[in-house]
Structures are given as structure tokens and as C-alpha cells.
Chain A
Amino acid sequence: NAGVTQTPKFQVLKTGQSMTLQCAQDMNHNSMYWYRQDPGMGLRLIYYSASEGTTDKGEVPNGYNVSRLNKREFSLRLESAAPSQTSVYFCASSEGQGTFSYNSPLHFGNGTRLTVT
């Protein structure tokens, strides 16, 4: 049981380059999330998808776009990378549907470590 799988694990980009971070879950979860984690800042929500076909902005959406490709997959795209986007990116999923987390713990992947030079 793989859970939440993120690719790639590591990536180095030059300023202005673009890339897509991939995330897939095999738990048949309804909701999926993208977080970034920076030292001293904790986990901050970038975008989330409360159900297949919907996406919503989180706390720090600027500079990012997302696609909920199907129920399993949720990708995060950086169109023009900036050094401020150097971070560890985590994808997560939960059983709950809609914006209500309720009794739905998050299941996280092991992250993508992105450096933008």
C-alpha cells in the first residue's frame, strides 16, 4: 500500500524555469492538498481540492497553479520559479469531502525538496 506518492524527490531549478510536481494517492480519498514547509514557518497550505473537479486557493497560492487530474492525482505547477519558492513541498490526501475536514486525518507524502537558484 503506497499511500501518497510524490515525484520527484529532489529538484533544482534556475529562476524563471517551470516545473510540475506530481502527486498520486491510492486510498480512494476525496480531498487532496499541497503544502509547503519552510524553517520557522511551519506547514502552509498552497492549494487544495475538496473533491474531484474542484480546486481552491489556500494561504499562499501566488506563483502556483494546480490540476486535479482525476480522483487519484493532484499536480502542482510552478510557471516561473523564483528563489522564494525554495522549499519542501508536501502533498496530502484525506477521506473527507468538501472543505470540512471533520474526522479526516491527513495522509502525507514524503515531500519534494525544491531549490531555486
Chain B
Amino acid sequence: SQKIEQNSEALNIQEGKTATLTCNYTNYSPAYLQWYRQDPGRGPVFLLLIRENEKEKRKERLKVTFDTTLKQSLFHITASQPADSATYLCALDMGYSTLTFGKGTMLLVSP
């Protein structure tokens, strides 16, 4: 079965720096890969979706890359702000079944 690995350790960075979060998967490449943000006590909120034939997707300060050779997606937040502090989840969509979520990585941006 598909396994998804996100760094379980929190990522601590300073305000203004670029945060980079990693999502690795095993086995087959998904048709789509989605990224979500989750704040404490709240449900996940969709951020970005990238297709397997796309190398990169951007939305404002967010950038997602998808490398099917490395079986990896990177999620970047440029010019990070304390308000970006949250847990970020990646989710794989194989195209024929429901989404499979990673366990998430907590990002802490300090002023």
C-alpha cells in the first residue's frame, strides 16, 4: 500500500526565511498531490494541488514541486510570517481512490 512520509519533527524558522516542507511517498506516483494547512482545533484547509505532469505550482507566497523520479513533493513558503505557523499535511490522490494523508509537519515561525 502507498506510504507517505512527512517529517514528524517540527520545523522552526525565523520570520522572513523560506520554509521548506517535504512529502515523500513509496510505490506508485499519484495522479495528484494536495497540500493542506491545519491550525490547532480546526479542520484542514486546502492550499494547493499539483498534477503528476506538473513540475511546479505557485500561489502567492506558496510553491509546490513534484518530482516523480524522487517520489517527493516539496512545499515552500517564502517570506514566512508567524501567521504561517501551523501543521501542513500532504495528501496523495492516486486517481482511482480516495485521498491518503500524511501525518503532517508542524511549522513554527518565530518573530
| Residues of A that sit less than 8 Å from B by CB | 4, 33, 35, 40-43, 45, 48, 58, 90, 92, 99-103, 105-111
The answer to whether A105 and B49 have CB atoms under 8 Å apart is yes
| CA of A40 to CA of B87, assembled, Å | 13
Is B93 among interface residues, defined by CB-CB distance under 8 A? Answer: yes
Q: Which residues of B contact A43 (CB under 8 A)?
A: 44, 89, 101
A-B contact pairs, 17 of them (CB 8 A): A40-B8, A42-B89, A42-B102, A42-B103, A43-B101, A45-B99, A58-B98, A101-B32, A101-B95, A101-B97, A101-B99, A105-B34, A106-B36, A108-B44, A109-B43, A110-B43, A111-B42
Q: Is chain B's binding surface mostly helix, strand, loop or mixed?
A: loop
Q: Mark B1-41, 1 if CB is under 8 A from A, else 0.
A: 00000001000000000000000000000011010100001
| Residues of B that sit less than 8 Å from A by CB | 8, 31-32, 34, 36, 41-46, 49, 89, 91, 93, 95-99, 101-104
Shortest distance from the beta carbon of B52 to any chain A beta carbon, whole Å: 12
| CA of A48 to CA of B91, assembled, Å | 16
Q: Is chain A's binding surface mostly helix, strand, loop or mixed?
A: loop
| CA of A46 to CA of B32, assembled, Å | 21
Shortest distance from the beta carbon of A68 to any chain B beta carbon, whole Å: 15
Candidates A48, A105, A108, A111; contact of B98 at CB < 8 Å: A48
Known: A99-B96, A101-B32, A107-B46. 18 other contacts (CB 8 A): A4-B43, A42-B101, A42-B102, A42-B104, A43-B89, A45-B98, A58-B98, A100-B96, A101-B93, A101-B97, A102-B31, A102-B95, A105-B34, A106-B34, A106-B91, A108-B45, A110-B41, A110-B42
